[in-house]
Structure 1
Amino acid sequence: MQDISEPPAVGVSRRDALLGSLTAGIAAGLPAVAAAKTPMQPLPATINHGKQAMSTITTKDGTEIYYKDWGTGPVVTFSHGWPLNSDAWDGQMLFLAQHGFRVVAHDRRGHGRSSQPTSENDMNGYADDLAAVIEALDLRDATLVGHSTGGGEVARYIGRHGTKRVAKAVLIAAVPPVMVKSATNPEGLPIEAFDAIRAGLVKDRSQFYRDLALQFYGANRPGSNVSQGTLDQFWLWSMQAGLLNAYECVKAFSETDFTEDLKKFDVPTLVLHGEDDQIVPVKDSAVKSARLIKGAKDIYYPRRTALPPRIRTRSTPTCSPSSRPDPGGMRSRPPCFASCPCLARQVAPFPFPPFPSSPFCRRSNMPKTWLITGSASGIGRSTAELVLARGDNLVATARNVNRLLDLARRYGKQVALIELDVTDMSASRGAVATAMERSDTSTCC
C-alpha cells in the first residue's frame, strides 16, 4: 500500500491535507483491488451523452453537475472543499486510478464546470447532488472521501441517503459537527468571522482568492516552497465558482449542524485532522465528530516545521488504531507522532487566528494582544478590524506598512504597526517579541 514520508518542518497546508487523503483512504481500509470496473447502469434521463463535451448529469431541479470518472476497481468518491472544484483531487485520483481503483469526483453546484443555480446552494442540495452522481453511475460499496466543506457534504449525504451504497467514509479537516458559535455551540467561531469572508468576496473576490491562496498553501510561512504556478492554480479554481454560489456556500459550511447526520454513520469511518488547523479548530470539529460517529478512528497531524519535498511510498501505515493523540497537546503524544508516515502532513492555519471563544485561547477579562500577519488585505485585514473593534490590542504586520496607517489613525495606541516579510526569521521573532511586550494577558496569534 501507499503512504507519505519525509516529515515536514513547518505546519503543512490545507492543500497538503488533500495530498494526505491518499493515506487517509488506505488507513480507512479501502477494499481490495479488483480487476473489473464497478458495473454501470446508464440512466439516459440523467447522464448527458451525445453532443456533451463534458461528462455531466442533470439533477431533478435541472442543474448540470460535472464529474470525472477514472479507472476500474473498487470505488472511491471525492468531495472537494470551498471554493475549489474536483480538480483539487487530481493528484489522489491519478494515483489511485493507476493502482486499481475507480475514482469519481464532481464539481459542486455553483463551482467549477457545474451549473450556477440560484437555489439549493446548501448542504441538502450538495448532498442530493452527490447522491445523484452516485446513483446515475450506479456506484456501490464506495468509500466516500470529503475534505473541509466536502466532509460536510459526505456527512449530510449519509444523513439523508443512508449507507446502502457506502462501504467506508473519510472526513479530512472537515467542518462537522458545526463551525459557528451559538448557545448550543459556545466553542464555535463567531459569525463575524464568516461575515468577513462574505465581505471579502463582495468587495474584490479575485484579490480575496489571491490572498487566501497564500494561507491555504502555507506560502506565507518560513521555509515554505510553494510555486507561483500552484498559487495561480488555486486562484483559477476559485474564480470558476459563481460569486452567488461561493457567497451562499459560506453559510452552508459554517452554520449547518451535522450532529444528527454523524450519529447515523454505520460504516467504518476515518476522521483525519491537523492539530494546527485554525479554519476548523480541531477540538470543535474532528474530536467532536469522532465521538459522535460510532467506532470512528481518528488521527491527528502534529505541529511540524517544514513542508515535505515530495510524496513517497511505503508498505503500510504504522499508526495503531488505538492511538488517541491529544490535539490540544495537554497529554504526551504516542510514539507514532514522531515516525508515522500517515502523520507526515498536517493542515495549515486558516487566514484568521482562533478567536477568544476558541479553546486554543485562554479567556480573561483583560484585553488581549493579537499578532496578525498580512493585516493589509483579505481576511487578515478583516480580522484585524474585528480584534480592534472588540477592544483588544493588535500588532499588525504587512510587507508595506503604509497600507496599515489608517488603522493607526483610527485606533491610536491600541495598534502597533510592523513592516514584516514572514520569510525573514529574525524579523518574525522580533514581531513576536513586540506582541509579548505589549501583552498584559496571554497572547493569541
Structure 2
Amino acid sequence: MGRYIAVEPNVKVFVEDIGAGPPVLMLHGWPLNHRMYEYQSSQLPTHGFRCILPDMRGFGLSDHPWHGYHYDRLADDVLTIIRTLGLQRVRLVGFSIGGAIAIRYMNHHQGYGISQLILLDAAAPSLTRRPDFPYGLLPSDVTKLIEQTYQDRPQMLYDFGQRFFASQISPSFREWTQSLGLQASLHGTTAAARTFRDEDLRPDLPHIQKPTWILHGVLDQVALFPLALQLQQGIRGSQLVRFEQSGHAVFYDELELFNRTLLQILQDPDAS
C-alpha cells in the first residue's frame, strides 16, 4: 500500500507500506528510490516484519521541490513519517546517503522511536576527504558527478552504475537500476550530491545511543571501506559486518547472505 505524507506545507513524500509486525523503515540511496529494496521488502514481511519505504524528496514518486536536500531537513522528513504513521520500536535501515540521513536523525531527534540502527555502505561519517580525514573520495570526484549530471544525466547514471556493483549482474538488471535514477529530478540529484560531498557527520556519531550494525562491502568503490571502520570507531558499541565480495550494492551483490544477515539482526531480542 502506498500513500503520500506531507512533510512540509507544499511538499509530500511517497511511502510504500508492506506487511505487518515490527516496523522496518528503509531509507534508500542516491540516486535511487524505495524500489531498490524490493529484494528485501518481498521477503521480510514473510518473517513478520512491516516494511516502510519512503522516497526521499526529489526522488522516485515524491515531490521534487527546489529546497530541502541537506541532512537536517531530510532527517526532519523522517521524523514526520514516523510521527504520522505512529511508529514505535522502529528498526531504521539506511543505505549510502540514506545511512547518512539516519545518522543525522539519530542525533538531531535523539533516536526518537528507534530501537535499532542498521547502516548499509553508509556515505558517512564523511563521504569525501578533509584535511583531518584522509578517507573516502576526493571532493572533486563528486563535483565531476554533479557536472556530468548537468551535461548528460543518463550517461552519468550509466558510469556511476559501473562502480556500483561488484558482482556480475544482467544487462537487464543494470538497466532497471539506471531507470530508478532517472525517476529522480535533476535538481534533487545534484543538490543531494552537494550534500554528501560537503557535510561532515563525525560530530553526530557520539550521540547515537541505540544498538547499531554497520554492514559494508569490502570492495565498495563509492563509500570506501575505511569509512566503515571510522563509523565503528565513532559509534560506541557498534558492530561491523564485512561483506567480502560486495561493492557499494551490499544489498544485492551477496543477496542471500545479506538477506540472511539482515533478518538475523532484525530478530535480535534487544531490538524487540
State the TM bucket, normalised to the shorter chain.
0.7 to 0.9
1:161 aligned residue (98, 104, 109): 109
1:300 aligns with 2:255: no
- The residue identity in structure 2 corresponding to 1:115 is D
CA distance in 1, matches of 2:49, 2:139: 41
Residues 312-336 of structure 1: CA distance to partner in whole angstroms, max 9, x if unpaired? 787996xxxxxxxxxxxxxxxxxxx
Structure 1's consecutive aligned runs of 4 or more residues displaced over 4 angstroms after TM superposition are: 307-310, 312-317
CA distance in 1, matches of 2:8, 2:162: 38
The corresponding residue for 1:251 is 194
CA distance in 1, matches of 2:133, 2:41: 36
Structure 2: runs of 5+ lacking an equivalent? 247-251, 265-272
Q: In the superposition, relative to structure 1, how do residues 309 and 117 fare at CA in structure 2: closer, same or farther (>3 Å)?
A: closer
The corresponding residue for 1:326 is none
Residues 140-174 of structure 1: CA distance to partner in whole angstroms, max 9, x if unpaired? 00010001111001001111111230000001110
1:125 aligns with 2:125: no
CA distance in 2, matches of 1:308, 1:192: 27
CA distance in 1, matches of 2:221, 2:171: 24
2:230 aligned residue (288, 298, 301): 288
Taking only aligned residues, the RMSD between alpha carbons, in angstroms, comes to 2.5
8 Å CA contact retained: 1:271, 1:290: yes
TM, length-normalised to structure 1: 0.55
CA distance in 1, matches of 2:56, 2:244: 30
The corresponding residue for 1:202 is 150
CA distance in 1, matches of 2:253, 2:75: 34
2:53 aligned residue (101, 105, 109): 105
- The residue identity in structure 1 corresponding to 2:200 is D
CA distance in 1, matches of 2:87, 2:107: 18
8 Å CA contact retained: 1:175, 1:254: no
The corresponding residue for 1:273 is 216
CA distance in 1, matches of 2:260, 2:20: 23
CA distance in 1, matches of 2:206, 2:151: 39
Q: Which stretch shows the higher mean deviation, 290-299 or 180-189? A: 180-189
- Sequence identity, in percent? 27
The offset of 1:189, in angstroms, is 2.7
- Structure richer in helix, relative to its length: 2
Q: Number of paired residues? A: 259
1:115 aligns with 2:63: yes
2:84 aligned residue (136, 144, 152): 136
Residues 258-287 of structure 1: CA distance to partner in whole angstroms, max 9, x if unpaired? 11221111111001112221211221x111
1:241 aligns with 2:189: no
**Matches of residues 355-370 of structure 1 in structure 2 within 5 Å?**
none
The offset of 1:188, in angstroms, is 4.1
Computing the radius of gyration over CA atoms, which structure comes out larger, 1 or 2?
A: 1
**Matches of residues 398-437 of structure 1 in structure 2 within 5 Å?**
none
Structure 1: runs of 5+ lacking an equivalent? 1-52, 318-445
Residues 366-421 of structure 1: CA distance to partner in whole angstroms, max 9, x if unpaired? xxxxxxxxxxxxxxxxxxxxxxxxxxxxxxxxxxxxxxxxxxxxxxxxxxxxxxxx
1:184 aligns with 2:132: yes
